[in-house]
Amino acid sequence: MLYSPGIHTRTLTSALEQYPYIDGHPEVTHRFQALINHERTFDLREMAYAIEELWFNEHDSGGFTQYKNPEAFEKFDPIHHIANCSQRMLVIQGERDYCVPDTQSIRAFTALQRRGNPSRMLYFRNENDWILNPFNALV
């Protein structure tokens, strides 16, 4: 992050979309007051069989397929690191997102709530992977 006078880094929010492993690792996220989970993977094993676009899952697990190297999936699977997540989190999901099923965000939000993490969820029934409606973007 670039230094800029007048910006206090402890008040920044980290928007993590393609890096699901990060939010359960306080050594990486401790400098942020809150995290934004925008349609991110929560369980790599479920995602390995839930979508047609497999590149991201295999990339996030070191380039391995779930059935050839399940240990890699287990090591980097965010579901195993939720216990380490302590920051506030906003979870955002569009129902029409075909890259990340909405069950991933719902499961992440439920896990945060069950652990007592301050969290909120925005669920847009008429949006896809990107929140495009100007009125929804204002929320």
Domain total in the chain: 1
CATH number at residue 55: 3.40.50.1820
Which range marks the domain in which residue 58 is found? 19-134
Would you say residue 91 lies in a domain?
yes
Residues 6+ away with beta carbon under 8 Å from 59:
none
Would you say residue 84 lies in a domain?
yes
- The phi and psi torsions of 78 (rounded to 5 degrees) equal -55, -25
pLDDT in tens, 23-77: 666 677 777 778 888 888 888 888 888 887 778 777 767 777 888 888 877 887 8
Q: Return the CA Rg of the chain.
A: 15
pLDDT in tens, 1-33: 344 455 455 555 556 554 545 666 667 777 777
Would you say residue 6 lies in a domain?
no
Would you say residue 3 lies in a domain?
no
Would you say residue 33 lies in a domain?
yes
